[in-house]
Amino acid sequence: MTGAGGIGWTVHGDGKRIADGAVVAPDERLSWPRTIGIGMQHVIAMFGATLLVPTITGFPVTTTLLFSGIGTALFLLITRGRIPSYLGSSFAFIAPLTASAGSGPAAQLGAVMAVGIVLMLIGVAVRLIGSRVIDAVMPPVVTGAVVALIGLNLAPTAVGSFESQPLIATVTLVSILLVTVVGPGLLGRLGILVGVVIGWVFAAVIGGLDSERVSALREADWFGLPSLHGPSFDWSVIVLALPVV
């Protein structure tokens, strides 16, 4: 099956099994139930990261989700589905946005846009000159250290979340590990999805769900408009954000 713009999928093998060492290519899919299951796991995996950044920085969560979806859709259309990637929140922005919180969301948005423009220019340069530009400016030892530091900076947040409900967190973590390690076939590839479901059910049984959040979820509108802000460009904030590039 091939869709508009070259985006489409053919069924991988019989759509049910993946042979040892085989890889499902970007233009392939499994049967629809399996594809939907893996897709649900991707949603869960991305949700925490995509929501965590705006939660920490104070950006509107719904707006973040909207533009994350728009960006991902545009990316897939532009690349014609050849690069299966999701564009979510970047943890690299947490430090500069937190430091510039006093400047307001408009100035912060302007800084994010400035970073995006610089990244576009770098993309054009790489397209014209080649990846050696990136290798010269940002060798693996530098990029690796940056990624490691981002993870270390987020560690206190993960620890705090775990300590808030350690029993539920432990059940969820152990479930994910067990399903991933001993789960047969596709089930072993859905460890995150299964673990989160088990953790949620366990929390509901022992009364560990936040009643206020459950009530807010029940009362929330199915459809609504996100909060939108226009950008302003403050060089002091832009300078803080540019190292994200």
DSSP string, 158-190: HHHHHHHSHHHHHHHHHHHHHHHHH--HHHHHT
With beta carbons less than 8 A apart as the criterion, state whether 57 and 97 touch: yes
**pLDDT, tens digit (0-9, with 9 covering 90-100), for 118-142:** 988 888 888 888 777 777 777 888 8
Q: What are the extents of the domains in the chain?
A: 1-60, 61-79+93-244
pLDDT surpasses 50 at 4: no
Nearest to 231 by CA among 57, 104, 121, 102: 104
Residue 115: how many CB atoms within 10 A of its CB?
20
Alpha carbon distance 70, 68 (integer Å): 6
- Convert the pLDDT of each residue in 143-154 to its tens digit: 888 778 877 877
Q: Which residue has the higher pLDDT, 59 or 153?
A: 59
- pLDDT value of position 171: 93
Q: Which two tokens stand for residue 35?
A: 């594809």
The pTM is what? 0.70
> So what's the pLDDT on residue 202?
94
**What does the pLDDT read at residue 2?**
46
